[in-house]
Amino acid sequence: MNIRETEYRHHSNPIQNPLSWVFFQKFFVRPLVEDAKNVIKHYESGAKEIQIARETLRNLDHNINGSASAPMMGGKAVERGCDEHFLENRPLDLACDYAYQDFMNYKPRNWDDGSDKLKTELVADEVFQVTNVAIEGLKEIFSGRNEEIVAQTHFLDYVDGLDLKYYTIPDYINCVDLKTKWSKPSQRTKAGIEKGSLPSRLTSQFLLPNLYQFAGFKMMTGKSPIALYVNKDEYRIFNKHTCDEMKDDFLDDVIADIKKRLKAIEMQIKAAPNKFWLLGMNPANLNDYAWHQPPSVLEYYKLISDQVEYETQTKQTEFERVQNEFTIKP
């Protein structure tokens, strides 16, 4: 395929999600969602077309289909509270209450056997405190910096050696990212609740995507990234002075790996004659966290999988050659 003419418009963190999910989203889900939104906006659309478009959005638009989670929405509420304090000069208590009220608009998932409902109750109990701690952590980061405090800034630009642009969004001053850690149900404690723990390093399997995200900030802005992790009781700041993984040399190596991975993705897209082959070369592991999705999303994937099977089997020899040459190994 011509990489500049596909639905894959730009890159992002290459290890945030498996390629099966990335390709499914960028080549199949997002175009369908965008088309549905355009149908609804178009004044000439008929009633039946609009009905189908709205059903598509209810099933596939991540903003309304129930794919969000309590911890995710709690993190967004905390960030909004911080924005109110630093950007709108709202007093501390009112900013924390703003975050709490914002989160209380969240309705828990109804498709995961009640797991998110339990987490929703825990996040609701902590969101005021977590916002308070986050504001204190951000105050420490902002102190002594002679620059205007700005919230999320979208960066989209070309990177040397790649055909497509790279996209990232730091939370504050173009280099700071805020991560929230929430208590969760647990059978390992007598109380049945396990406190959200703060990391001591950024190289664990679960934190590597964060590290690659921070390296992406440096790649796009040239600024040394700063990460703030918070729970209801304390915060921890990671920067090049406090963490080996955030030093320039280490991040430069990560940036080199980011480019290598993204180049491999571009090669794979170019080698595939159509988007169905990309899913065929990257079959989904439905047990992966990224695929913990509403039933409507999984049903659409299964529908697409039938077409994937047809497309790859009709030219099986050629497909196997491309698969062996370009599939990115985990």
What whole-number distance in Å separates Cα of residue 157 and Cα of residue 217?
A: 12
Count of domains forming the chain? 2
Mean pLDDT value across residues 70-83:
98
Helix (H/G/I), strand (E/B), else coil: 228: strand
What whole-number distance in Å separates Cα of residue 237 and Cα of residue 232?
A: 15
Q: Name the pLDDT band for 11 (thresholds 50, 70, 90).
A: very high
pLDDT of 18 reads 97
Neighbours of 143 (CB within 10 A): 7
User: Is residue 244 a part of any domain in this protein?
Assistant: yes
| Entry pTM | 0.92
User: Is residue 53 a part of any domain in this protein?
Assistant: yes
Does an H or E element contain 102, and which?
helix 92-103
User: With 90 as the cut, is the pLDDT of residue 8 above it?
Assistant: yes
User: Is residue 206 a part of any domain in this protein?
Assistant: yes
Mean pLDDT value across residues 220-242:
97
Spatial contact of 248 and 147, defined as CB atoms under 8 Å apart? no
Same-domain status, 32 and 166: no
User: Is residue 2 a part of any domain in this protein?
Assistant: no
Same-domain status, 298 and 240: no
Residue whose entry in the numeric block shows the structure tokens 């050629």: 318
Q: Which amino acid is at 232?
A: K
User: With 60 as the cut, is the pLDDT of residue 81 above it?
Assistant: yes
- CATH code for position 222: 3.90.320
Same-domain status, 228 and 112: yes
Residue whose entry in the numeric block shows the structure tokens 């059978």: 187
pLDDT of 312 reads 86
pLDDT of 289 reads 93
pLDDT of 177 reads 98
What whole-number distance in Å separates Cα of residue 293 and Cα of residue 118?
A: 18
User: Is residue 247 a part of any domain in this protein?
Assistant: yes
User: Is residue 9 a part of any domain in this protein?
Assistant: no
User: With 60 as the cut, is the pLDDT of residue 285 above it?
Assistant: yes
Phi/psi of residue 202, each to 5°? -115, 20
User: Is residue 202 a part of any domain in this protein?
Assistant: yes
Same-domain status, 141 and 238: yes
Same-domain status, 158 and 104: yes
Helix (H/G/I), strand (E/B), else coil: 235: strand
User: With 50 as the cut, is the pLDDT of residue 27 above it?
Assistant: yes
Q: Quote the mean pLDDT of the chain.
A: 94
DSSP percent split of the chain into helix, strand, coil, nearest 5: 55, 10, 35
What whole-number distance in Å separates Cα of residue 79 and Cα of residue 180?
A: 9
Neighbours of 140 (CB within 10 A): 11
Same-domain status, 297 and 248: no
User: Is residue 176 a part of any domain in this protein?
Assistant: yes
Mean pLDDT value across residues 128-157:
95
Spatial contact of 142 and 173, defined as CB atoms under 8 Å apart? yes
Same-domain status, 208 and 322: no
Most distant CA atoms of the chain, gap in Å: 66
Same-domain status, 112 and 144: yes
Domain boundary among 258, 292, 307: 258
Same-domain status, 59 and 159: no
Same-domain status, 36 and 89: no
Q: Which domain holds residue 190?
A: 70-258
pLDDT of 330 reads 42
pLDDT of 326 reads 65
User: With 50 as the cut, is the pLDDT of residue 138 above it?
Assistant: yes
pLDDT of 250 reads 97
